Chains A and B, each alone.
Chain A
Amino acid sequence: MSRLEVRKTHKLFIGGEFPRSESGRVLAATDADGVVLARVARASRKDLRDAVESARAAQPGWAGRTAYNRGQVLYRVAEMVEDRRSTFVRLLAADGRGAADLEGEVDAAVDRIVWYAGWADKFAQVVGNVNPVAGPYFNLSTPEPTGVVGVVAPEVPPLLGLVSTLAPVIVPGNTAVVVASGRWPLTAVAFTEALATADLPGGVVNVLTGGADELVPFLASHLGVDGLDLTGADRSLVPDAARAAAGNVKRLLVDPPDDWWTAQSPYRILAFSEIKTVWHPKGT
């Protein structure tokens, strides 16, 4: 006698918890052939506001962690993704590609998280500076996180694109509100379940499934968001989002990389960092 499978409910990830959309709306997640795999929550504007609020509340604490600790937490995220390899392979397979590519994307995603984890306590050394000013002053420039950053994850590759945009945002102490891939949301939901077991404080990463076209305008105009990564966004959304972002002088990352498989750079971290320069006189 065959056993009936227990299916998963796919929910949002806000403030370290897994709520349904307050709107009660859901979307069908389908495979490449259009077969419905599951329902996912279709986040509303109110869900997005809740996510920004959580990200805002979590930001000082996350930035206040030592860089060493943030690096370890990120490494722990990599461990949790590696541990769920079979889950991700199964979910990624929904697009109908071959097995080698599935393993390859999980490999690349895990390695990318590890790569950024290592930057946590090195980034300030590479982009910071002692400045030789022409006077008796100590003068030091160091990077600090921008604050709350909106991330529009690319549609594909579903897992690698998500970690390639998210990891550089949170490494230096930003918190994130992520609009997940609309076409392949199940991977993003599985990823939030990895995050939930990775010692990441609640609210550091918030992930919304639903329509990017519906959520991005609100994300771009929200005054509680300090920066916006549009590199993964559909190009049709970019002009309006960039215009709305000017309302509070958001920092923007706009141009998509040539290839998500090679898109890793400390300058993605710098895009959502602020250089702070401190002066102090020298004297007795």
Chain B
Amino acid sequence: MSDPIPALPTVDWSYAPSVESTAIVAIPAEQGLWIDGSMVESRSGTTSTTINPATEEPLGVVAEAGEEDVDLAVKAARSAHDSVWADLPGRERAKYLFRIARLLQERAREFAILETLDGGKPIREARDFDLPAAAAHFFYYGGWADKLEYAFPGIEPRPLGVAGQVIPWNFPMLMLAWKVAPALATGNTVVLKPAETTPLTALEFARLTAEAGLPDGVFNVVTGAGATGAALVAHPGVDKVAFTGSTAVGKRIQESIAGTRKRVTLELGGKAAHVVFDDAPLDQAVEGVVNGIFFNQGHVCCAGSRLLLQESIHDAFVAKLKDRLDLLRVGDPLDKNTDIGAINSAEQLERIRRLVAEGESEGGERWQPACDLPERGFWFPPTLFLGVAQSHRIAQEEVFGPVLSVMTFRTPAEAVEKANNTPYGLSAGVWTTKGSRILWMADRLQAGVVWANTYNQFDPASPFGGYKESGFGREGGRHGLLPYLGGVA
């Protein structure tokens, strides 16, 4: 006769956050501009406060560079170009880039936390994607610096001069690396304008370049908003303009440099189609679609924001998608479990809300999982729009948020026609188990990047950039060198 089995202790399975400490990050209360190798006060005297979008708490004050400040930065870059950087042997330039890559790896966690604080992205993404990828870009392009004559046949590689680079707020450090690494590797010097809502990592990176011993003036940072960017692009001392951001601003930049000898690359908006055929592995495809649109709150120019489902799998796929969305965790970006962090700014949140409201008024059926959003900060839940027509604004305009429009198709030809029915052409996704169909689709999708049976993959060795109004020029890979090289005739 045995004793009765003792009752199991009660386990509390309710959610326990796992929050990254911010103790290793020190943000200066007020920062100037990084010009000619040191932090200087702005001549403009104007400043702005950058906030944490998850709490709306101020993080620090930064300068807003005026025309005079931009002029000083461009002159510093010109001087560094002419006196030291352009003629430095490639093998020496390479070693600076390798040093920068190593320092970024060493201080990756600090930068990741800073990125999350300033931009609102989940720490898991900043830590596991943004920072490793940024360091990898410096490693990749460091290796090119002394091999440029082998990159493309028949070229006589030489730098263009001073590169004015304007980057967005969605991947501040990664966009910095995409721009700065190939520019420096090819012997150009840089004046970088980070986004007004995410200036902190660029300024910290500036200090890191000094730690790496990078000669003064080779890399300069002017913080500020659109006016600062416009002043940089318009400066006559800038030889090369590189811009990542909206198509509207990209067009203005292309207009503004018309008739000058400035070279330009534009990496602009997108409205990517994500095509799922009835023979696709549906559970894998659901993961890909979720990653495609909800990665980084959907603040991704190549986000798969138009889901094209083959008609026969629509209901089953949407059911699986809803089940998956129910499990996404929205909230504190510093929580390592968070899938969807804060919307980057009040302005962006307003834009998302406006487009979602229009999506509903045009007849789309909005679906959102039940989720509690924090009271303070900028938040938007993952959102599906069902029953969307191609003519709906929600299917045409870039939302740049966690909003997925669902449409259907019957034949591969119809999928291609709908996928290409947009002025954008940055990226596209396709899910099918049929190899010949993947290649057939890949040939026809008008997009600079086609992800087949995967989505949102990036690598320093892989070129990225758009067709049509998503811009021109490539960043990454061997092709990413070309926009920074003279002597390609």
Residues of A within 8 A of B (CB): 126-127, 129, 131-135, 137, 139, 141, 226, 238-243, 245-249, 251, 255, 257, 265-267, 274-281
B489–A141 CB distance below 8 A: no
Q: List residues of B (253-278) whose CB comes within 8 Å of A's CBs.
A: 254-255, 258-259, 261, 266, 268
B459–A245 CB distance below 8 A: no
**Given A266-B153, A267-B152, A277-B450, 12 other A-B contacts at CB below 8 A?**
A131-B462, A139-B459, A246-B255, A249-B268, A249-B470, A251-B472, A257-B489, A265-B489, A267-B488, A276-B448, A279-B452, A281-B453
B461–A277 CB distance below 8 A: no
Q: Tell me, yes or no, whether B447 is within 8 Å of chain A by CB.
A: yes
5 contacts between A and B (CB under 8 A): A126-B153, A137-B457, A247-B251, A255-B261, A274-B448
A131–B457 CB distance below 8 A: no
Interface residues on B, range: 35 or more
Chain A residues near B266 (CB, 8 Å)? 249
Chain A residues near B469 (CB, 8 Å)? 248-249
Q: Tell me, yes or no, whether B479 is within 8 Å of chain A by CB.
A: yes
Q: Tell me, yes or no, whether B478 is within 8 Å of chain A by CB.
A: yes
Give Cα distance in the complex from A277 to B461, angstroms: 11
A278–B452 CB distance below 8 A: yes
* Minimum CB–CB distance for B92 against chain A, Å: 25
B258, B442, B451, B479 interface centre (most CB from chain A within 10 Å): B258
Chain B residues near A238 (CB, 8 Å)? 258-259
Give Cα distance in the complex from A247 to B266, angstroms: 14
Give Cα distance in the complex from A245 to B264, angstroms: 14
Chain A residues near B479 (CB, 8 Å)? 127, 129, 141, 275
Q: Tell me, yes or no, whether B354 is within 8 Å of chain A by CB.
A: no
> Which of B259, B462, B474 interacts with A133 by CB under 8 Å?
B462
* Minimum CB–CB distance for A56 against chain B, Å: 13
B259–A242 CB distance below 8 A: yes
B463–A280 CB distance below 8 A: no
Give Cα distance in the complex from A241 to B478, angstroms: 31
Give Cα distance in the complex from A52 to B478, angstroms: 34
Give Cα distance in the complex from A173 to B33, angstroms: 48
A279–B251 CB distance below 8 A: no
Q: Tell me, yes or no, whether B320 is within 8 Å of chain A by CB.
A: no
Q: Tell me, yes or no, whether B454 is within 8 Å of chain A by CB.
A: yes
B457–A246 CB distance below 8 A: no
B462–A139 CB distance below 8 A: yes
B136–A134 CB distance below 8 A: yes
Q: Which residue of B lies closest to A243 (CB)?
A: B258
A275–B459 CB distance below 8 A: no
Give Cα distance in the complex from A139 to B152, angstroms: 19
| Contact status of A249 and B254, CB under 8 A, knowing A126-B153, A274-B467, A280-B438 | yes
* Minimum CB–CB distance for B266 against chain A, Å: 7
Q: Tell me, yes or no, whether B423 is within 8 Å of chain A by CB.
A: yes
Q: Which residue of A lies closest to B464 (CB)?
A: A277
Give Cα distance in the complex from A141 to B268, angstroms: 20
Q: Tell me, yes or no, whether B471 is within 8 Å of chain A by CB.
A: yes
Q: Nearest 3 CB-CB pairs, A to B? A: A239-B259, A242-B258, A246-B254
* Minimum CB–CB distance for B273 against chain A, Å: 15
| Contact status of A267 and B489, CB under 8 A, knowing A243-B259, A275-B465 | yes
Chain A residues near B250 (CB, 8 Å)? 249
Contact with A along B419-463 (1 / 0, CB 8 A): 000010000000000000010001000011111111001010111
Q: Tell me, yes or no, whether B47 is within 8 Å of chain A by CB.
A: no
* Minimum CB–CB distance for B374 against chain A, Å: 34
Q: Which residue of B lies closest to A137 (CB)?
A: B457
A246–B258 CB distance below 8 A: yes
Give Cα distance in the complex from A132 to B468, angstroms: 27
* Minimum CB–CB distance for B138 against chain A, Å: 14
Q: Tell me, yes or no, whether B55 is within 8 Å of chain A by CB.
A: no
A246–B259 CB distance below 8 A: no
A243–B461 CB distance below 8 A: no
B254–A280 CB distance below 8 A: no
Q: Which residue of B lies closest to A143 (CB)?
A: B479
Chain B residues near A247 (CB, 8 Å)? 251
* Minimum CB–CB distance for A224 against chain B, Å: 12
